Structure 1
Amino acid sequence: MGERTRVKICGITRVEDGLAACAAGADAVGLVFYPPSPRAVTIEQAVAIRRALPPFVTVVGLFVNADRETVVETARAVHLDLLQFHGDESRAQCELSAMPYMKAIRVSDDVDLGEMSRRYAGAKALLLDTHDDKLWGGSGRTFDWDAVPADLELPVVLAGGLSPANVADAIRRLRPYGVDVSGGVEQAPGIKDAARIAKFIEEVDRVSIAERTG
């Protein structure tokens, strides 16, 4: 593995949590624009978080089956850098906003990840999450990492049940472009734990360095 695995801290709802993520070395922060989620933010909250962040941090907006107008207006108001589509959006729907995006895929036995990487060929990455019939994400559970082919055509961002305790093993096994964590670094849904964020990123850096030098 030639480069450090990137880290996205998702479900940021407070300015102080966004700043804690950046101080710990996060490459990206995720803002959830899906009202049913306990980690959802309003435009006003998102703008306040965005304004407080330092430069060179990617701000990602998460949407679930939202219409184009909502996505475009939110992206413009918050100055989002990257969109994350976490629902049943087609490639055409993902590309309507004409912005960089990554597509979340909920991994299950009947999902062909190779086909998904071809279907969403215009995406910057595939974000692989745990399938749950009742949730679009944030289940807190891992999936079978062995189900991920090594030769996908798009970069992989691994999500689903990651924590400081298992992220190093996940990176060693899958060597993803990035990892995405939310519940694994929280005190409660939407309330991050700065110490757990720091430990998570410390584990990512530790295994990334070991892979490069080992």
Structure 2
Amino acid sequence: MAERRRKMAVSHKEQRGIFMNDANKGCRIKICGLSRIGDMEAVNRVRPDYIGFVFAQSRRQVGATWAASLKRALDPRIQAVGVFVNAPVSEAVRLAEVGTIQMIQLHGDEDEAYIRELKRQTAAPVIKAVRVRNGDDIFRAEQLSCEYLLLDTYTKGQYGGSGRVFDWNLIPPLQKPFFLAGGISMENVHEAQSCRPYCLDVSSAVETEGRKDPEKIRRMVEAVRQSGKQSGG
């Protein structure tokens, strides 16, 4: 376990180096909420930078055993992110340590103490989701010890997955790299990149009747990468 943590720490340093130094890489893309072997085949064909397994209660929820099977079918060049909502620290740590996920996304009410305990137990990079109501929400979140933020739409009583866009004018200049979520679609993908996110996080926009659609995934990945080239990365 100690050796795995060392390797994960090295991997994260490389990841941060890529973010800081490779301006030509452009905006990344994450396809979230994968739950079927067919989803793995679809993303393997177009290789988004990240995919997300949702372990929180959701119609897209997967269990640990099934997620491990899905991960074995995933192209190793694609990073797997585990999405949790107020889960025990041990749950996220265990999935990171066995290699089912490479990054941990916290989409609930997790605070600084939670993040510090998580980082004490695993070297996996942490993404903290912020349900944005105003700019102060984002400023406060940037003080947390996570490596990344994820800016999402605030919906009362819901921890994400609303498919609704928030006011991107609320996003201040940030030191931390951030994922942008909430209603990202083919219609606004270019505008979304003007916010200078590290990564766009997409789920419902690449679904048809509640299931991931391979053609929509292909079109979205191509759109993000093409838009990034047009805007100069």
TM-score (norm 2): 0.84
- Report percent identity of matched pairs: 37
The equivalences for 1:93-172 within 5 A come to 93-98=114-119, 99-109=124-134, 111-118=136-143, 120=144, 122-149=145-172, 151-171=173-193
> Structure 1 regions of 5+ residues with no counterpart?
none
Tell me if structure 1 keeps the 8 A contact 2:190–2:227.
Answer: yes
Residues in 2 aligned to 1:47 and 1:136: alpha-carbon distance in whole angstroms:
24
Aligned to 1:46: 67
Quick one: distance in 1 between partners of 2:103 and 2:135? 28
- Partner secondary structure for residue 25 of structure 2: coil
Deviation at 1:211, TM superposition (A): 1.4
In the TM superposition, what is the alpha-carbon distance from 1:57 to its structure 2 partner?
A: 1.0
Measured against aligned partners, the alpha-carbon deviations of 1:89-139 in whole angstroms (never above 9, x if no partner) come to 012202323331110000103743122112x1x322110000011210000
CA RMSD for the aligned pairs?
Answer: 1.6
Corresponding letter in the other structure for 1:42: G
Say whether 1:212 aligns with 2:227.
Answer: no
Where does structure 2 lack aligned partners over 5 or more consecutive residues? 1-22
Structure with the larger helix share: 2
| 8 A Cα contact 1:127 1:157, kept in partner | yes
Aligned to 2:213: 193
Could you list the per-position Cα deviations for residues 145-197 of structure 1 after superposition, in whole angstroms to 9, with x for gaps in the alignment? 11101x212001100011122112211x20211100011101133x2011111
Pairing partner for 2:85 from 48, 57, 64: 64
Look up the equivalent residue of 1:3 and give its one-letter code.
Answer: K
- Answer whether contact 1:29 1:58 (CA < 8 A) is retained: yes
